[in-house]
Amino acid sequence: MVAIDKNKPICVTGASGYIASWIVKYLLDDGFLVHATVRDSSKESSVAHLLKAANGAKGTLKLFDADLIQEGSFTKAIEGCELVIHTASPFVIKGFTDPYEALIRPAVEGTDNVLKSCNAVESVRRVVLTSSVASIYGDAVEILKAPGGVFTEQLWNNTSSESHQPYSYSKVMAERRAWEICKNQSRWDLVTINPSLVMGPSLTTQTQSTSIDVMRDLGSGRQRTGVPLLEFGIVDVREVAKAHISAGFNPDAEGRHILSAHTASLLQMATILRARFPKYPLPKKQLPKFLVKLVAPIAAGVSRDFIQKNVGYALKFDNSRSTSSLGVRYRPLTETLCEHFAQMIEDGLLKRR
């Protein structure tokens, strides 16, 4: 049981990111002193939305520069904090050639570095880590073997690797490393948040998060000929942010927490959006698996193995720990998707029609 002193600063790593910027905003609104780490605080595009959130809020924002692959670079930001919320980790699934350097090294070495700094700073009592459902399962087909046909916090992704699902591999290796480091000391405890695909309005247009790409691909017309039967767990970014804060301050919070409100296929998401945004070239058809297998490796750079193991499976997540232990209340899917889409139009990330 850990009671965090609310008068002490809270450290949030990767503060400029899609999820973290909501965490920072809520903390500032609640009057906290936030030690926010970014890679480069002199880059206006990385911090403008954080400064805007701080402007007029009850709390105070202090920016620190820190890089995941630079040992010791988080120590200064963590000094004086009892609570550290570690979100920084790349969430990209394409556009790189070396998965180790692009994903695995920053995720695993980064977790190592942040937690070593937590070990070095006497004040730290709790670490909340942004993990993922990607550290619970690797491919959708694993649902067939999940006890009761449901993904739970008991499960671990044992199938991803550097060459197959490297993002998922980066998340499971980082979370495993975090539990290992936690076990070897007794001053701070670890609580993990394991969200499925996070959607909902973003406070920044600069994020590289795949969450934004999924919505852009749906709304831009890129998928107008049809989409594979790919199903996702989906959760609103605002619920994910609040869950991190609740995990930080609930003295009894412990262990892993799946954050997933709904499951929907790409076509179901498009159908919900079309009702509100009828002028957009959203996909209307589901493509047969054999056709996806044939064209996806060339059209989308996705392997046949990925298609085989992920297309056509219905997912189910047990989110009961998030509601009982963290008090999460999930909003309707329509609200999450439509508010996200509307905000992307507003920000010029989708053409106004």
Residue list 91-120, contact with ligand NAP (CB under 6 A): 91, 106
Backbone angles phi, psi at 91, to 5 degrees: -115, 80
Taking only Cα atoms into account, the Rg of the chain, rounded to an integer number of angstroms, comes to: 20
The least CB distance from residue 327 to ligand NAP, in Å, is 20
Q: Does residue 16 interact with ligand NAP by CB under 6 A?
A: yes
336 binds ligand NAP (CB under 6 A): no
Q: Is 47 in the site for ligand NAP (CB under 6 A)?
A: no
Tokens of 265: 């296929």
Q: Compose the 119-158 pattern: x for residues touching ligand NAP by CB under 6 A, - for all others.
A: -----------x-x--------------------------
According to the binding rule CB under 6 A, does residue 36 interact with ligand NAP?
Answer: no
State in angstroms the smallest separation of the CB of 6 from ligand NAP.
24
Residue 14 interacting with ligand NAP (CB under 6 A): yes
Interaction of residue 50 with ligand NAP, rule CB under 6 A: no
Rounded to a whole number of angstroms, the minimum distance from the CB of residue 298 to ligand NAP is: 26
- Spatial strand order of the sheet with 255-259 comes to 60-65, 33-38, 10-13, 83-86, 126-130, 189-195, 255-259
Bridge partners of 208, per DSSP, are none
Give the type of residue at 98.
D
- What is the distance between the alpha carbons of residues 173 and 222, in angstroms, rounded to a whole number? 33
Task: Count the Cβ atoms, other than its own, within 10 Å of residue 45.
Answer: 11
Contact (Cβ atoms closer than 8 angstroms) between residue 289 and residue 228: yes
Of 122, 164, 124, 162, the residue nearest 141 (C-alpha): 164
Tell which positions 173-202 bind ligand NAP, by CB under 6 A: 195, 197-198
Interface stretch with ligand NAP, choices 38-46, 51-59, 248-256, 343-351 (CB under 6 A): 38-46
CB of 35 to ligand NAP, least distance (A): 14
Name the minimum Å distance from CB 120 to ligand NAP.
18
Q: Candidates 38, 103, 178, 218: give the one binding ligand NAP (CB under 6 A).
A: 38
* Distance in angstroms (rounded) separating the CA atoms of residues 196 and 214: 13
φ and ψ at residue 34, rounded to 5 degrees: -110, 125
Question: Are 118 and 124 spatial neighbours (Cβ–Cβ below 8 Å)?
Answer: yes
**Which residue of the chain is nearest ligand NAP when measured via CB?**
17
| CA-wise closest residue to 331 among 217, 239, 211 | 239
DSSP SS3 for 203: coil
Distance in angstroms (rounded) separating the CA atoms of residues 203 and 311? 32
Q: Which of the following is catalytic: 171, 242, 293, 309?
A: 171
Q: Which stretch binds ligand NAP (CB under 6 A): 88-96, 138-146, 262-270, 291-299?
A: 88-96
Q: Which of residues 260-299 bind ligand NAP (CB under 6 A)?
A: none
Question: What tokens appear for 147 in the block?
Answer: 């006890």
For residue 113, which phi and psi values (nearest 5 degrees)? Answer: -65, -45
If the CB atoms of residues 91 and 151 are measured against ligand NAP, the closer one turns out to be: 91
171 is catalytic: yes
Nearer to ligand NAP, 135 or 287 (CB): 135
Q: 53, 88, 103, 292: which one contacts ligand NAP (CB under 6 A)?
A: 88
Identify the residue among 68, 84, 253, 333 touching ligand NAP (CB under 6 A): 68
Binding residues for ligand NAP (CB under 6 A): 14, 16-20, 38-39, 46, 67-69, 87-91, 106, 130, 132, 171, 195, 197-198, 207-209, 211
Catalytic positions are 171
